[in-house]
Amino acid sequence: MSTQMSPTAAVATGAVGGISVIENAVCSFCGCLCDDIVVEVNDGKIARVRKVCANGRGLFTHYDPTPRPPTVDGREVNWEEAVAEAARILDAAASPLIYGLSSTATEAQRKAVALADKLGAMIDTTSSVCHGPTGLAMQAVGEPTCTLGEVRNRADLLVFWGCNPAVSHIRHFARYSVTPKGTLTPKGRRDRTVVVVDVRTTLSAKAADLFLQVRPGADFEMLSALRALVQGKEIEAETVDGVPTAQLQELAERMKTCRFGVAFMGMGLTQSRGRDLNVSELFTLVAELNQYTRFSVIPMRGHGNVAGADQVLTWQSGYPFAVSFARGYPRYGPGEFSTVDVLARGEADAALILASDPVAHFPSAAAQQLERIPTIALDPNRNLTTQVARVVFPTACYGVDAAGTAYRMDGVPIRLRPVLPVVRPTDVEILDQIIEAVQQC
């Protein structure tokens, strides 16, 4: 109902009879942050969502914004009681951990860092099991980047390495990279060459002009060979780890002679043997290609605001993930303060999980530790982590009923345009209350 809309949403609302139509809403599901979504709201409920992809649709259609009471040990309590219990747990802990942050707005991420600072806690984001190695590579060799707007309007060569946008970022091809018609790419798809590098013939590979199938774990060798070929060095061997050298030579030539190339990379590099070294090699290749033409690289960020989590943690602490405030100042330690390591070694004695589901996505040995220690979860939806958490806060969903800002995968901040009135407490409000309660402990 338009009269109940938050101010941000009301601007975007055109009322048609009893139905409100919100144009240009932002889907906060993945790092594409598509900001052209059309949502019809009827009687305070989302009736129809247009332009959204199969992954994002559920964000709008499966979220029930009806307020639910928080729980402590599965028992429904009032909000004050739940906040007091969360503060008591965190205050009593010698080595608390704050984890997640990627599916909430930057405003809530700032509060999470403030809480970690106050508690002397470790704080880590889902980046550590996603593009954490990319962060390490950026620190090692820099980041030759650009915006998705530049990709859309200028890029004539696209290389998707170890990522599968057709499944994970479904509208990426159509909105930003492969098919849109841009200033220097007026014919859209016909003005672009698409290369996919992967270990299996993915859905994305089927859309490629050139598909390079690599052996699992052989990415570093491929990238090293490409760097050599780009520099004009000869490779005598007929194949590089099973891939014909001629095919690599063809790709190297395409890369050097394109007008503007962009590499997109994903978990195929960060989660395979070599991890950050794979990414460093790709980023170095891209940097070196700038001696011949213009080339950039963009990590395919998964969660809607995981890029924002990196940004906020970096501007607040100086480091993108795996940070400890235990000594009163921020220290950086991938492998030491990253959450899987911390949980596997049993080094955290309490955890606050903000807007993520580590129990569903961590190796079992790490996930099970969250059942052994008192865990607090803030999440709009029930998930495997809320099932084991001692304190659960069902908060509003960013982009659907909660306002805020999120960072797209290319580092562009996008203001969210919520489509429903916010009735539930937001992550910001609950974190504020926990910070205040901790101060009074």
Partner 1 sequence: MKEHFTLITGRTPEQGKGLHEGKDSEAYRSATALVEMNPEDMAHLEIEEEQVVRVRTDTGHVEVPVHAGTLPPGLLFIPMGPAANVLIGTETESTGMPPFKGLTAEVEPI
Name the site residues for partner 1 (rule: CB under 8 A). 54-55, 57-59, 61-62, 124, 128-129, 132-133, 136, 164, 167-168, 199-201, 213, 216-217, 267-268, 270-273, 275-276, 321-322, 334-336, 338-341, 343-344, 357, 360-367, 381-384, 387
Compute the least distance from the CB of residue 276 to partner 1, in Å: 6
DSSP code per residue over 3-38 = GGS-HHHHHTEEEETTEEEEEEE---SBTT----EE
If the CB atoms of residues 295 and 337 are measured against partner 1, the closer one turns out to be 337
SS3 341: helix
Spatial distance between the Cα atoms of 398 and 248, rounded to a whole number of angstroms: 44
Q: Which residue's CB is nearer to partner 1, number 110 or number 275?
A: 275
Minimum Å gap between C-beta 17 and partner 1 is 29
Q: Give the CA distances from residue 403 to residues 368, 399, 421, in Å, rounded to whole numbers and listed in that order.
A: 33, 6, 10
Please say which residue, 168 or 185, places its beta carbon nearer to partner 1: 168
Whole-angstrom distance, CA of residue 263 vs CA of residue 168: 16
Closest CB to partner 1 among 199 and 235?
199
- CA–CA distance from 217 to each of 99, 128, 211, 396, 434 (Å)? 29, 19, 17, 41, 44
Residue 266: name the closest of 396, 406, 386, 172 by CA.
Answer: 172
331 Cβ contact partners less than 8 Å away, ≥ 6 residues apart: 323, 324, 325, 337
E strands, 137-259, are 157-161, 193-198, 210-213, 239-240, 243-244
CB of 197 to partner 1, least distance (A): 14
Q: Which is nearer to partner 1, 199 or 210 (CB)?
A: 199
Please identify, using beta-carbon distances, which residue of 57 and 68 lies nearer to partner 1.
Answer: 57
**Angle at the Cα of 15 (from 13 to 19), degrees rounded to 5?**
110
Q: Which is nearer to partner 1, 61 or 291 (CB)?
A: 61
As measured in angstroms, the least distance from the Cβ of 278 to partner 1 is 11
Rounded to the nearest 5°, which phi and psi values hold at 405?
-125, 145
Cβ 169 to partner 1 shortest distance, Å:
10
Closest distance of CB 385 from partner 1, Å: 9
Residue 233 exposure: Cα atoms within 13 Å on the Cβ side = 8
Residue with smaller CB distance to partner 1, 321 or 325: 321
The token pair at 383 is 């998930």
At its nearest, how many Å lie between partner 1 and the CB of residue 132?
5
Q: Minimum distance from CB of 204 to partner 1 (Å)?
A: 12
Amino acid at 129: V
Q: Do residues 77 and 415 lie in contact, with contact meaning Cβ atoms separated by under 8 Å?
A: no
